[in-house]
Amino acid sequence: MSSRFIVAAALLAAVSTPLYAADCSVQIEGNDAMQFNKTAIEVPKACKSFTVQLKHAGKMPKAAMGHNWVLAKTADVQAVANDGIAAGLDKQYVKPGDARVIAHTKVVGGGESDSVAVDVSKLKVGESYTFFCSFPGHSGVMKGSFALAK
């Protein structure tokens, strides 16, 4: 094979491959030890929608050790968590119609999963967001930062 052919093939491959494709999704796991496997999530600016898939990697049922994934402004987390506890499991530990909640999954138990699409247009660069589990007693330790990339 000639070196010209190899160079031409390499150039053709480079031109036909997208230069950048934003990854507009993430998988996060919660477990029976009340932990998420991520403490930070950054959303690429190119995403219009960002999908979060929550997987419960443990074995305990949702009534005993359920987890959800809730997104809110950091300043609202405590109030959203408190109102979620009052809402109860049948409402996914999220107060119905709570405008402070940007997105949330349902509560899942061991081996279960759920996903939610976050409308990126609701996010602002530089704003402080937090994801957390609103199951009673979990939000203090099961949380992390969520940001729109600059």
For the segment 112-128, what is each residue's pLDDT rounded down to a tens digit? 999 999 999 999 999 99
Instruction: Delimit the domains of the chain by residue range.
Output: 22-148
6 pLDDT higher than 60: no
The band of 88, judged by pLDDT with boundaries at 50, 70 and 90, is: very high
Distances, alpha carbon 13 to alpha carbons 4, 5, 17, 23, in Å? 14, 12, 6, 21
**What average pLDDT does range 135-147 have in this prediction?**
98
14 pLDDT higher than 70: no
Distance, CA of 102 to CA of 121 (rounded, Å)? 11
| Average pLDDT along the chain | 90
Q: Which residue did the predictor score with more confidence, 16 or 21?
A: 21
What pLDDT does residue 22 have? Answer: 76
SS in 3 state form for the chain? CCHHHHHHHHHHHHHHCCCCCCCCEEEEEECCCCCECCCEEEECCCCCEEEEEEEECCCCCHHHHCECCEEEEHHHHHHHHHHHHHHCHHHCCCCCCCCCEEEECCCECCCCEEEEEEEHHHCCCCCCEEEECCCCCCCCCCEEEEEECC
Q: Is 134 exposed, middle or buried (0-12, 13-18, 19+ CB in 10 A)?
A: buried
Degrees, nearest 5: CA angle 141-144-149: 175
The answer to whether the CB of 60 falls within 8 A of the CB of 33 is no
**What average pLDDT does range 28-33 have in this prediction?**
98
Please give the model's pTM, rounded to 2 decimal places: 0.86
Could you please state the CATH topology (level 3) that the domain comprising 22-148 is classified under. Answer: Immunoglobulin-like (2.60.40)
